[in-house]
Amino acid sequence: MHYIKTANAPEAIANAWVMDFAGVLSPNATKDTNKRNFARIVAFTIFRNLKMKYLFIIAMVFILSASGLVAKPSNTITKLDTKTTELFDIHTAQLHANNTIYAITISKIKSPKTQPKKYRIFYILDGNGHLPIALNALAKEYCKKDFLCDELDYVLLVGIGYGEKYAKIAFPPLRTRDYTPSIPKELLDSMDNKRNFLNGGGAQNFLESFVQTIIPFVKSHITQSNLELSKECGIFGHSFGGLFVLYALSNATNDFNHFYAISPSLWWGNGEFIGQNRAIDFADIEEDSITLWIMQDTPKNPQTQTINKENPRGKAKINTKELATLIQSQSNITPHYKAFQGYTHGSVVVPAFLEAIRDFAK
C-alpha cells in the first residue's frame, strides 16, 4: 500500500474600533448633559463591541469558506469544454429503476487511434456532477506526455446520474438515499444524532437496481451499437459515492472487478455500518482478482482534515488508511492506498479520477 496552528485573529482587528472619548464628559457641563453623554458612551461601546463581534464572525466565515472548512459542493453542473465535445461521443438516456428516473450517460473517444476489439466499462457515480468534471480533465490530459494516448480508446465512461427534476442538479439529494448503507434500528435508536441518518440507508436497493437494471441497460445499449465488451468493469465514487463503492465490494457481485473509493464518508452512521455482520463486512470476500483503490484528500489546513474525518453529522470509527489495512487483513485483496497532499474533500476528485482511469485503462 502507498501511504503517502490556527492563528488567532490579528489584534489590529480588535483595536480597529478604539476611539478617544476625552472631552465627552466635561466638568463644566450640566449633570443632565453628562448623563446623556455618558449614556452615549455606553451605547457606543455596546454597539462597537457588537459590531466587532459580527465583523469577526463574518471575517471567519469568509476565511473558513475560502479554506474549504464550511464549503459545500456546488450544485451547478460543470459545462463541457469545447475540447471535450470534440474528443468524446456523449449520449444520455433516461432509465426508470428503483422508483427513480436515472440519467445514464455513455461517453467514448470519437476517433480512436486503434479500433478497439473489446471495450471496458468504467461507471462513475454522481454522474450529473462528476462525469463532466472527469471528461474535461481527461480531454485536458489526453495524449499529454503519453497520458492514455491509446489505452483510453478501449474505455467507455458511463455516468450514473439523475434525470427529470434533478437533471440540472449536480448532486441531487437522492444520492444520500442511494449511496448509504442501512443502520440497524437498535443502533439508530441509540444515537443522539440519528436524525442525520434518516434520509439514507438505501444502498442495498440501489445496488440491486444497478446490477439487475442499470448494467443490463448499458450493455444492451452498447451491443446494439455493435461494440463488444470485455470482462473488465470499474466503479468510481467519491464521498457518499465512495462509501457505496465499498458497499458494492463487500456485497461482492461479479459485475465489478475494479473498485475506486475516493474519500468515502466513513462517518456515516457514526461508523457503525463497518464490522462483522454489519452492512460492510469484508471478511467473506474471497475473490483475489479484484482491484481496490482507496484514495483520500489530505488538506494543508489540519482543521480541514479534521472536519472531513469527523463530519459534524457523524464521527468515523476508522480512517481510510486504517480501512485499507483492515481490508487487507480480512480478505485476499491487497488495496492500493493513496493520499493526495494539499487537496480538499472536493478538489481531490480530479487527481483521484485521473489516477483511477490510468490504472483501469492500462
Question: Residue 121 is part of a domain; what is its CATH number?
Answer: 3.40.50.1820
Answer yes or no: are the C-beta atoms of 296 and 321 closer than 8 Å: yes
Phi and psi at 74, nearest 5°, equal -70, 140
Domain that holds residue 184: 82-361
Interacting residues of 270 by C-beta distance below 8 A, sequence separation 6+? 191, 193, 314, 315, 316, 317
Answer yes or no: are the C-beta atoms of 349 and 301 closer than 8 Å: no
pLDDT at residue 286, as a whole number:
73
pLDDT at residue 276, as a whole number:
72
Is 164 part of any domain?
Answer: yes
DSSP label at 195? G
With b for 16 or more beta-carbon neighbours within 10 A and e for fewer, the 148-178 pattern comes to beebbbbbbbbbbbbbeebeebbbbebbbbb
Of 6, 17, 22, nearest to 60 by C-alpha is 6
Question: Residue 254 is which amino acid?
Answer: N
Distance in angstroms (rounded) separating the CA atoms of residues 113 and 151: 10
Assigned C-alpha cell, 71: 464549503
Is 324 part of any domain?
Answer: yes
Is 322 part of any domain?
Answer: yes
**Stated pTM of the model:** 0.79
Distances (CA, A) of 290 to 211, 256, 336: 17, 8, 11
Torsion of CA 59, 60, 62, 68, to 10 degrees: 170
Where do we find the cell 473498485? 259
Is 260 part of any domain?
Answer: yes
Is 285 part of any domain?
Answer: yes
CA 297 from chain centre, in angstroms, equals 10
- The H or E element spanning position 155 is strand 155-162
Pairing of β 291-298 and β 88-97: unpaired
Say how many domains are in the chain: 1
pLDDT at residue 118, as a whole number:
92
pLDDT at residue 359, as a whole number:
96
CA 277 from chain centre, in angstroms, equals 26
Of 293, 315, 291, 300, nearest to 345 by C-alpha is 300
- pLDDT tens string, the chain, 362 residues long: the values are 544 433 333 333 333 333 333 333 444 445 455 555 555 554 555 445 545 544 444 444 344 344 333 345 689 999 999 999 999 999 999 999 999 999 999 999 998 877 888 999 999 999 999 999 999 999 999 878 667 778 888 999 999 999 999 999 999 999 999 999 998 888 889 998 999 999 999 999 999 999 999 999 999 999 888 889 999 999 999 999 999 999 999 987 789 999 999 999 999 999 888 877 788 888 777 767 899 999 999 987 655 444 444 466 688 889 999 999 989 988 888 999 999 999 999 999 999 999 999 999 98
Is 31 part of any domain?
Answer: no
- Secondary structure of residue 117 in the 3-state scheme: coil
Is 4 part of any domain?
Answer: no
Is 25 part of any domain?
Answer: no
